[in-house]
Structure 1
Amino acid sequence: MLRLFVSLYLLLIISIGAINTLSEKLWQSLNNAPSSQLIAIEQVASSLALTLNSQNVRLLSKRLELAITPQDSNDVALLSWQEQALMQREAVITIDEHDEIYAYVQPESQLYLIGPFYQETQSNIVKPLIFLISYLCLAGIIALWVWPLWRDLKSLQRASDHFSQGGQALPIPVNKRSTIAPVLTTFNTMTAQISRHIDEQRQLTNAVSHEIRTPLSRLKFTFAMLDKEHVPQLPCMRQDVVELERLVDEMLNYGRLESQHDNLHIEDVNISELATHLIDKLTRHHQVNVTRNITENIICRCDGHLIERALQNYITNALRYAQSQVTVTITQTTNRVIFHVEDDGHGIKESQRDLVFQAFTRLDKSRNKDNGGFGLGLAIVKRITQWHKGECSVDSSALNGAKFSLIIPKHLL
């Protein structure tokens, strides 16, 4: 931080000093350079110095539309070279504090003041232009100083976004001269450690899930042997084993899904056809009435298999808790595809809506486990949505139940 502050402070001090010096020299050179207007004024004043006298003062003043007033030489402070020029009947040009141009001439023994002369507006533009150029130069110098910092921060942002969306930890190249080199190094170390812990946890979960299958198979074999003995608790025990098997399958499916992020199969998918076929398949053996509001020929560049999986989880969830009605709405805008799945069930409390997309979250503990699942379906939807750089949410439905929404870009980059 100290290094950053000192380098910026020194840069500003040196830059401002250099720009001020150069702009002042430029302004002085422009002011000292004789303009065409000054040359013309000097010529007019020199002519008057030769022709002006007490008899034609008023006449010349009227014709030239210039104020020509006699002056007391004792009241006018002139330099020695100016006095000599006047004695030689030359004009002396002066500019006062208001940038008004005057000329002194002394045709005889009388000193005259001619002016003010009409001032061209060009000089009024020069000063703001010099200020503008100075500010632009300062902005350019600061931009050159900020550019390496902005580049490193942009790399950090891209890596953070990629990692937060479930991608692999991509190490950021670190330049030792970078002002945020320690931050980048710490970020690389942190993401590497987190990725390693996630991989270890995933491997452990998969290993445990596979290992559980063996004792479950033994239990099922034992239940088959006990079936003839008519054990009263046998149906409940079988149900528990089936539930454990379903949990293992869902955990393995979730683990396999996590590994697909870096292997997305992106292609142009007809979402309208995909959704229509999916609804036909899911509602074939359901008594719930499903209303479809699907715009025709919605083409989206995405992973069709994963989007179908997310929509399937939405519709399956709605069919599970709906009383009699489910509505599936799919529309599009210029850049997005929007999915809505609504049901007329009991809905979800507003205080619990942030929890439904978390893994292993079941809001209603009293639901039958055969119908309720293990809380991984909506977590899978959230993960797929993140991979497609979209968003998912839940709200109240016009059917008095829950309304699940999914929005993804039409063209995934």
Structure 2
Amino acid sequence: MFLRDGRYFLEQYIEQKGSDNSLYKELETTQKETFYIFKLELLTQWDGSSPCDNCDKIFTIDSVPVYLNDNNLYIAVFPIPNTNNHFVFREHAEFFSHDVPWYQNPTVLFILALTSCVIFVLCIAIYLPLRQLQKQTYNFQQVQMKFGDGKLAERANEKLPAPVGHLAKSFNKMANEIESRVIQSQIFAQAIPHEVRTPLSRIQLVNDLLRMKSQPTEAALHDDIDLYIEDINNLTTSIIMLSKLTSMESSFYETHRSNLNLSTFIPSRLAAHPYHNLTVSTQISEDIVVRCDSTMARLVVDNLIKNAIKYTHTSVKISLIDHDSHLELSVEDDGSGIPESKRKEIFMPFARLDKSRNSKTGGFGLGLAITHAAITRLEWAIDITHSDMNGANFTVIIPKSSNLD
């Protein structure tokens, strides 16, 4: 193999000698040249002595002597035809030497550079599609979050490559179905109460006419009819209010924030609700002003006060405490309390519990549902615990971010 390589280089040298494109110009000029792992040299008038120091002749093949030096590298001397010169072909000692640091080895540096370029190109080829996929996924996630928050008109971009495009199409199909059903439910919830009020007004009119012609003994019956009509009116009003509160597309109940002094607002709302034969105590910090929607705040406070008065036995306690991180509004009663397993259920529309909150007090089960919807609009939070008064304790957490700077 070594001799065959040597003969190849010799033939190339002879063929290109004197040519303008010769690869061996340096050899012709300086008598020496290096080709990566081989070193070439021209000898004139060679006397047959060793071509290098510390090398021994090991054999001769076809008139070509081959030598081996101390580094176990081969050296061959080829006669150049029709001349007295000789062509010395040897392995490059520095290339094979382990003494050369890797960072100075041109072959190693070339391989490292080539490998780095390949890795860089591969990284770019992988990163760009992944980055694009990440961006598409993020946008799709934002649409899902907005849709989940109640913005039912939101739709994903379907003009995207798979798999995001397929997901977007499936999501939009589902969103269309959900939006259609929700709109139908909202139309039903708001249209039916309006339609009911017309016959109720007629019933009220007829009842008033009959009352004028009836006997005194029949007055209680007409009073009952008036109470039933009032109950149905209250029910329809509550249904419409809850429907609009829970609809994110409703502009009627959009929050309009203003400064509200809770320290005076809560006592004023308490005075608006009669609580005969009950003891109501308050513990309200002074000058607590928040920035919120006063209509939503009134719905929260009024319904919690009415709920406590309705279900308590003898006393109600209302407290407003200013903590470091939040405000805490608590409404407690000494009623029968709410079982822990039912504390999430009571915020559902038309939810009713056992005897303690059903047969004795009545009600339609919409007050706390309206309270929860208003609290959601205000971005507050509500929790139910057992009161020290042995009843229920409704605690509203108002973040300090809602407070004035």
Q: What is the CA-CA distance between 1:291 and the residue it aligns to?
A: 2.7
1:132-151 equivalences under 5 Å are 138-151=126-139
User: Does 1:187 pair with 2:172?
Assistant: no
Q: Distance in 2 between matches of 1:116 and 1:313?
A: 87
Q: Deviations over 1:347-392 (max 9, x none)?
A: 1122322221222233244768784432221111012122233433
Q: Residue by residue, what CA displacement relative to the aligned partner does 1:124-143 show, whole Å, maximum 9, x if unpaired?
A: x9999996996576344302
Q: Which runs of 5+ in 2 are unaligned?
A: 1-52, 55-67, 78-87
Q: Structure 1 CA distance, aligned partners of 2:101 and 2:95?
A: 11
- In structure 2, the residue matched to 1:291 is 282
Is 1:215 aligned with 2:203? yes
Partner of 1:250: 235
TM-score, normalization by structure 1: 0.61
The 5 Å alignment of 1:102-117 reads: 102=97, 115=99
Work out which of the residue numbers 345, 349, 366 in structure 2 matches 1:376: 366
Tell whether the 8 Å contact from 1:339 to 1:405 is kept in structure 2 after alignment: yes
* Match in the other structure for 1:324: 314
Say which SS state the counterpart of residue 407 (structure 1) adopts. strand
Q: Greater shift after overlay, 307-316 or 382-391?
A: 382-391
Residue pair 2:146, 2:154 contacting (<8 A) in 1 also: no
Q: Deviations over 1:6-61 (max 9, x none)?
A: xxxxxxxxxxxxxxxxxxxxxxxxxxxxxxxxxxxxxxxxxxxxxxx99xxxxxxx
Whole-Å separation in 2 of the counterparts to 1:217 and 1:290: 42
Matched residues in 1 for 2:185 and 2:358: separation? 34
- The aligned counterpart of 2:46 is none
Alpha-carbon deviation of 1:207?
1.0
What's the % identity of the aligned pairs? 18
Which amino acid letter does the alignment assign opposite residue 223 of structure 2?
R
- In 2 relative to 1, CA 332–210 (structure 1 residues): closer, same or farther, beyond 3 Å? farther
CA distance 1:279–1:215, change in 2 (3 Å): closer
Alignment match, 1:262:
251
Alpha-carbon offset, residue 151 of structure 1: 0.9
Gaps of 5+ in 1: 1-52, 55-69, 81-86, 96-101, 104-114, 164-168
CA shift, 1:191, in A, is 0.4
- Identify if the C-alpha distance between structure 1 residues 325 and 366 changes in structure 2 by more than 3 Å, giving closer, same or farther: closer
Q: How does 1:14-413 map to 2 (within 5 A)?
A: 72-73=70-71, 75-76=72-73, 92-94=93-95, 102=97, 115=99, 138-163=126-151, 169-172=152-155, 174-177=157-160, 178-179=165-166, 180-228=168-216, 230-231=217-218, 235=220, 238-239=223-224, 241-256=226-241, 258-259=243-244, 261-263=250-252, 264-273=254-263, 274-282=265-273, 287-294=278-285, 296-300=287-291, 302-331=292-321, 337-365=327-355, 371-409=361-399
More strand by share: 2
Shift of 1:336: 5.1
Q: What is the TM-score when the length of structure 2 is the normalising length?
A: 0.62
Q: 2:243, 2:340 → 1: CA distance?
A: 29
- Amino acid corresponding to residue 308 of structure 1 in structure 2: R
**Greater share of residues in helix:** 1
CA deviation after TM superposition for structure 1 residue 246, in Å: 2.3
- 1:214 aligned partner, one-letter code: R
Helix, strand or coil: the match of 1:259?
Answer: helix
Which amino acid in 1 is paired with 2:366? L
Matched residue pairs, number? 314
Provide the rounded CA distance (Å) in 2 between the counterparts of 1:210 and 1:334.
52
Q: CA RMSD in A?
A: 4.2
